[in-house]
Structure 1
C-alpha cells in the first residue's frame, strides 16, 4: 500500500507510518488514540512525585517568638511551602499523638517562606517539632529529639523549643546575646556550640547577622540563607527562641541611616526572614518591637530606619530612633510592670566614635532623661557593632545605666558573646552578666541588683 505522507517520529520516539485507514471507525480510532495516549502521559507526569530537590529545606527551621502558650516556627523551601505542615508534641510523652498545624505562607516569584503559629501550649514546657510535607509518608514522630549538636547529619527539619513562664512570673532564666557574624570569613563559627552549652532560654541577635551591605531584597535573602547554612548557627536557631534586630550591614550599606535608598525592601526582607512579634506600629514602619519573658520586658530598638546621618550636625534636630519610635518606647517603659526593662539595639552608647549614640548627644540625653525623670527602674541597655564584648556603666544624672556590648561572635578575634542571667525572685532581683570568649574563658562576670538600678525618692 502506498504511503500517503512520509514517515516521522512522534514525540515518544516511535516511528509512525501514516496510512489511510480503511473505514470510518478505524479512521476515528486512528485520530483519537494518539490524543488519549498523550492525555494519559500528561496525567501521569502531573501525578509523579515532585522533584525532591525542590522540596529541600533552604535552612533548618527557626524558632522565633515564643510565649507561655504559643510558639512561632519559620521554614522555607525552594518550591512554594503551601504543602508544609508542622507536627509537634511534648518531649518525652510517649502516649500522646503529635498535633499538626498548617502555616501562613508568604510567597512570590522570588522567595517563599512559611510561619507556623503553634497554639494552646503549656507554660515552661519543652516541645519537639518536625516540618514535613502533607503528602509525604510520615515516619513515627520521635519521642526524644534528635540532638543536632550530636547528630549533625539529622534530617534538618526537626527541633525543639521551651515555652515561656507566665507573663509577670518571678523566677530565673538566661538570655544569650550576640552580633556580628561573617560566614565568608568564619565558615565554622564554633562559638554557637559554646553558647548552647550555657542553656539560654532565648537568644537576642543585635545586628550585622550578615554583611550584605545593600537594601536589595534578593541579596539580603541570599546572605541570610548562607549564614543559616553554618551548622552550629542553624542548630541554635532550631532549638532556641531567637529575636533579631538589624544593624547597618544587614539593613543597608556601612553606617547606613534613614536616608538609605530602598530601605522599604530591607524591611520587607527582615519581616520575611524571621518569625517575630509585629514590627513597628500602624503609623510608623520599622523593625522595632517588644516582648516579655517572665518578669523581664525587652524592647528591640531600630537604630537605622529613622536615624539621622552620622555626619549631620550634632544638635537637637539629630535623631537616633526618630520621634515616633521614641514615643513608642517611652510609653512602653512607663507602662511596663516588669522588674527589668531591657533596651536592645545594634549601636553602642559610647564605645563607637564613628557610628553610635556618642554622635547623637541630644538623642542620648533625651533617652537618659526620660528614664530618670519618669522614675523608670531596672533599665539595662544591650548593643553590638564593635567586634568586641564588654560591660560599660554610664552616668545618666540618675542611677548608672548598665550597657552590655556583645559583638564579634564570628567576626572578631575573641569570638565572644554575652549572657544575662536574671533572678527576679530574689529579695533584691539581680542580673548577672558574663562575657564569654570562644576559648571558654570568662573575662568579665558581674552581678547588678535592682536596688542599684532604681531612681529612688
Structure 2
C-alpha cells in the first residue's frame, strides 16, 4: 500500500515539476516529504527530507532570498534502509539571523523559489520574546486531513512548534506500519508548509509508539524507536546507553525538557511494584539533574500524558510516587519558572497542579474531541472542536510574563490568560472552575 501511495505522490510531484518548468530528465528525483525544519540553535540547524529514491541530499543556505553567496552543506545519501529519509546539519550560522535555503538531490533542485526561510535562535542565555505552539493528537487515521495545520500557520506567528505525541495513529510497533503512518500524517494539509519554516520538535505518546495505552513491556518497541529517529530532527534522542526520545534544548533563556513517557514505562495498572516508573531510573535522574543545572528563567517541562492529579489511568495519575519525586525535587531546590505542558486527552484544559504548578494540555489538532470532566485543579476547559495552544513568553522584564493562548481550528482565539510570576511559582492560587456535571456518554 505504501508503495502504491508513494507512486501516486511521485506522479503528482512529477507533474508539478513539469508545470513549473524545472529541469527534467530521465533521472529526475524529488522530495516525497519535507523539508521539515528540526532543531535550530543560535549557530546550527537540522533539516529533514525524504526523497523518491536513493539520492545525495545537499542544502544551499544564504541570508539572501535569492541565495546569493550561499553556503552548501552536504548531507547523507538517502537510502532505502531509512525509507529514503535523512537529516542535513547546517552549521556556522549566526544568532537571530534569517536564512533562506534550497534542497538539492544529486545536485539538482528539489524545491523551487520563493525559497523557505527560518530565523536562528538568539544568543544562549539572552532575554527574549518567544512564542511557541504545542499540539497533540494529529488524527485517528494516517490520512486524516487535520485542518489545524493550515489554521495554525495562518493565525499565529510562532518561533517553534512542539509536537507532544499521538503524532500519528499507527497503533503498531511494526516498522513498516510506522513508516506508513508517518508518511500519511506528513501529507496532512498545511503540515509541510508550516514545518518547512518553523523549528519543529517531537516526542511520542501511546498511538505513535504502539497500541492504545502501550508501555515499555511492548514487544518490538525498537521498531517505533527506529521509525521515530528516521522521521524527526531533534537535537538528541535519549542517552548513549539509555535509548528513548527524551531530550533538552535551549532557546535564549528558556529551557525545554521533553520527556519519553513510553519506552521505559511500567504498565499503568501495575499495583504490586513500589518502584513503578513512567520514565525509568536513568531518565528520571537525567531530568532531575537537568532541572537543577538549568539557569534559564523559564523552564518548559513536557510529557505526552497529563500531569494533573485527577487524570485517566494512562497519565501521571497512575504514577504518583514518581511524579511527586519530580515535584518535590523542584520545590526543595527552589527551582522557579517551571511550567508543565502535555497532550493525549483530545481536549484542551489548564490546571494548577497541587496548587503549585501550572499545566496546559493541548489537543486535539486533528483527532476527534472527547468530553472533559471538570476536576478540582482545572481552571480552563475547551472540549468542542479541534484545538492548539500558543505560549507567549517575555523574559525581558524583571519578572517574566507568560500568556497562554487557546485557539479553536477555524474559529480563532477562544481564551487568553496572562499569568503572574507568583501564579507560575505557586505563591498565588488560581481559582478553579466550578464543578460541573459529568461528561455525557457518547451514543
TM-score, normalised relative to structure 1? 0.80
* TM-superposed deviation, 1:49: 4.9
More displaced, 301-310 or 345-354? 345-354
* TM-superposed deviation, 1:127: 1.4
2:151 matches 1:178: no
More displaced, 56-65 or 241-250? 56-65
Q: Is the 8 A contact 1:63 1:242 kept in 2?
A: yes
Counterpart selection for 2:122 from 142, 161, 165 = 165
- Where does residue 58 of structure 1 map in the other structure? 32
Counterpart selection for 2:60 from 81, 84, 87 = 87
* TM-superposed deviation, 1:185: 8.1
* TM-superposed deviation, 1:352: 3.1
The Cα RMSD (Å) is 2.2
Cα gap change, 1:306/1:97 in structure 2, threshold over 3 Å: closer, same or farther?
Answer: same
Please give the alpha-carbon distance, in whole angstroms, between the structure 2 residues aligned to 1:410 and 1:285.
29
Please give the alpha-carbon distance, in whole angstroms, between the structure 2 residues aligned to 1:212 and 1:164.
33
* Structure 1 counterpart SS, 2:352: strand
- Where does residue 326 of structure 2 map in the other structure? 367
Please show how residues 27-176 of structure 1 align to structure 2 within 5 Å: 49-52=25-28, 55-82=29-56, 84-92=57-65, 96-105=68-77, 107-109=79-81, 111-136=83-108, 142=113, 146=114, 158-176=115-133
TM-score, normalised relative to structure 2? 0.82
* TM-superposed deviation, 1:138: 9.3
Q: Is the 8 A contact 1:106 1:272 kept in 2?
A: no
- Where does residue 406 of structure 1 map in the other structure? 362
Q: Is the 8 A contact 2:35 2:196 kept in 1?
A: yes
- Where does residue 436 of structure 2 map in the other structure? none
Partner deviation per Cα, 1:170-214 (whole Å, 9 max, x = no partner): 010100000101273874322222222311100000000100011
More displaced, 353-362 or 443-452? 443-452
2:162 matches 1:204: yes
Cα gap change, 1:100/1:364 in structure 2, threshold over 3 Å: closer, same or farther?
Answer: same
Q: Which runs of 5+ in 1 are unaligned?
A: 1-47, 147-157
Cα gap change, 1:79/1:106 in structure 2, threshold over 3 Å: closer, same or farther?
Answer: closer
- Where does residue 313 of structure 2 map in the other structure? 354
Cα gap change, 1:357/1:135 in structure 2, threshold over 3 Å: closer, same or farther?
Answer: closer
Aligned residues: 387
Please give the alpha-carbon distance, in whole angstroms, between the structure 2 residues aligned to 1:225 and 1:186.
9
2:373 matches 1:415: no
Partner deviation per Cα, 1:381-411 (whole Å, 9 max, x = no partner): 1100010111111116xxx101110010111
* Structure 1 counterpart SS, 2:51: coil
2:309 matches 1:337: no
Please give the alpha-carbon distance, in whole angstroms, between the structure 2 residues aligned to 1:242 and 1:110.
20
Please give the alpha-carbon distance, in whole angstroms, between the structure 1 residues aligned to 2:142 and 2:105.
35
2:407 matches 1:453: no
Q: Is the 8 A contact 1:372 1:455 kept in 2?
A: no
* TM-superposed deviation, 1:428: 1.2
Please give the alpha-carbon distance, in whole angstroms, between the structure 2 residues aligned to 1:60 and 1:446.
34
Cα gap change, 1:333/1:193 in structure 2, threshold over 3 Å: closer, same or farther?
Answer: same
* Structure 2 counterpart SS, 1:286: coil
* Structure 2 counterpart SS, 1:446: strand
More displaced, 409-418 or 238-247? 409-418
Please give the alpha-carbon distance, in whole angstroms, between the structure 1 residues aligned to 2:36 and 2:137.
19
Please give the alpha-carbon distance, in whole angstroms, between the structure 2 residues aligned to 1:138 and 1:341.
38
* TM-superposed deviation, 1:75: 0.5
* TM-superposed deviation, 1:324: 0.7
- Where does residue 20 of structure 2 map in the other structure? none
Cα gap change, 1:110/1:198 in structure 2, threshold over 3 Å: closer, same or farther?
Answer: closer
Larger Rg: 1
Q: Is the 8 A contact 1:65 1:243 kept in 2?
A: yes
Please give the alpha-carbon distance, in whole angstroms, between the structure 1 residues aligned to 2:117 and 2:139.
26
Q: Which runs of 5+ in 2 are unaligned?
A: 1-23, 370-384, 428-443
Please give the alpha-carbon distance, in whole angstroms, between the structure 2 residues aligned to 1:78 and 1:234.
16
* TM-superposed deviation, 1:229: 1.0
- Where does residue 249 of structure 2 map in the other structure? 291
Please give the alpha-carbon distance, in whole angstroms, between the structure 2 residues aligned to 1:233 and 1:445.
25
Cα gap change, 1:98/1:109 in structure 2, threshold over 3 Å: closer, same or farther?
Answer: same
Cα gap change, 1:110/1:244 in structure 2, threshold over 3 Å: closer, same or farther?
Answer: closer
Counterpart selection for 1:249 from 199, 207, 227 = 207
